[in-house]
Structure 1
């Protein structure tokens, strides 16, 4: 039987990276600019932990390359002055067709961590997806304000899975997102070369005490985070487990990490309300294609049975437009928002969301679209 899960105590403070005057947002001309700012501010091993992919990082590079290959045919003389950017996700109106991707251990990059990014997302009218491996509890994140979805990793102890789902519901989360592409952690060679381990002030706050001791035990030539994941995660998840989860909650269910259209159909068969077409940011199977590459096929396979989101390399409003034009309901944005948090805390995150909204509005205007729904009628050309 699983031991009861209790909310962990807040992590002790750590020194934030330098980012100018206290409370000031770092200057960035585009959302993509935050990556270089974060690289200059963060310890190299922490930057590598966030930025890196698996293996030779072929899948990581494929994400950006796939986006750059998509050309969108703009429409002319459409009478568009100031387009709307709002769009529904999982049946609820959002200010942008965007959710914050689940990302672990955000106190690695800034002491305010997940609650600060969640608060910024809420202020921007965007859902925040809280990771099972957050460095703040789901209760702390949900209290920050704004819609929160809970991302679930399937743990070896099903009792712990049940308790995490129940905690997410009690905390007021409005959706569950089950990640299905991590039976084991992909070989993150940057972390292996760095002998990466979590510092003492960063922990998996949603797990009971001492459950992530392995993640703090650094050994040269190994990744402590990979050791912890191997010990904690169940590697033999099946579609019957997804159906079990569907039967346990009335919350909208999102299945994240599908690439083969056949799996997207199985997710819909199991009761998923949405799928996320994703190669996990290039951090799992290094031979996997970019999510954007498979997006049109997945959309065709599931039709209107469920929503289809996509992630991987999205770093600005034009990328959101590309995804919409290829059939996405919306996108998940990850690293650029974490970089903004790293260099400016809440102020940096606020600046990033403002840039993303402005970039999407510009892209819609230039494409001749009054709103994100019209972007789905645009035609695309895949170049190269």
Structure 2
């Protein structure tokens, strides 16, 4: 009998997606949030195999995890850091994002201290907030002061100038405004500091706007084979890397008027067969997909019937001869000519594909290798 739920991750797809993106510009592969649910360590290795020159994470703990697994190469911690997290990031030999002079003073003190684990200069990327409204300074003069302070401080290395786009996937006009704010500042800084890396593009900007690629692109969602424009990854030359599978654990007949699930949100209108699949919101299938999603059972698309519960769903197999208990059920993935994408779930839920794979919980084991080919998949 198969596992109740399993996330299969095709590392070859991650490598291929990274190769596709690295052909556009030097690639920084974003592996934060456990590699968007795919597994950070495994995704990082696959990304480097595919040509990623840099890796990026959000937290110091994520940087430490990669280094503990033996992953080398340039590594950027993009998030805010408490003093304790700053120590951890420096110990991991990661580059740091900064925008205030106080942080540079704290880094200078750490640069002067003996550091057996990462004795080189601490790389710093200065962030200008051009419209995202989160981290970074909105003041280009302050950003310049911080950058020049980094360049003048022994033990620190001015490595990059960066910003982050707020609307690369849905409002190119505002992205152009942001780029118009960023480039004059970053270009002036780069003219004074040769070798400085200017970087701004996320996946959507990297695929959608060649002008924004600059010296490096920072791609997350696209390296996992999901569409940053929330439509179809195949149209972007991307291969989804993750499939979520389970199996048929029980089959029973439902007569007209009989129900399934909490709240009786499915009531049979005809004679049909219901299959119970042992996966639910405790595994990462959101409860909001109640009566709003399909599952591939034996390669055939069938609808979810009733409430998604913590550990189980039911699906309506229809009145014909049902498949046997033990038949594979694919919640995300492709079989034959059918596929269910993270984008499909996201559209039903009014969210984005990022949230779908990040939401697959730790109780679902990850299995790494090449996913089964989808013969005739579209």
Question: Which structure would you say has the larger RCO, counting Cα contacts within 8 Å and 6 or more residues apart?
Answer: 1
Structure holding more strand per residue: 2
Name which one, 1 or 2, has greater alpha-carbon Rg.
Answer: 2
**TM-score over 0.5 for the pair:** no
TM-score normalised by structure 1 residue count? 0.40
TM-score normalised by structure 2 residue count? 0.41
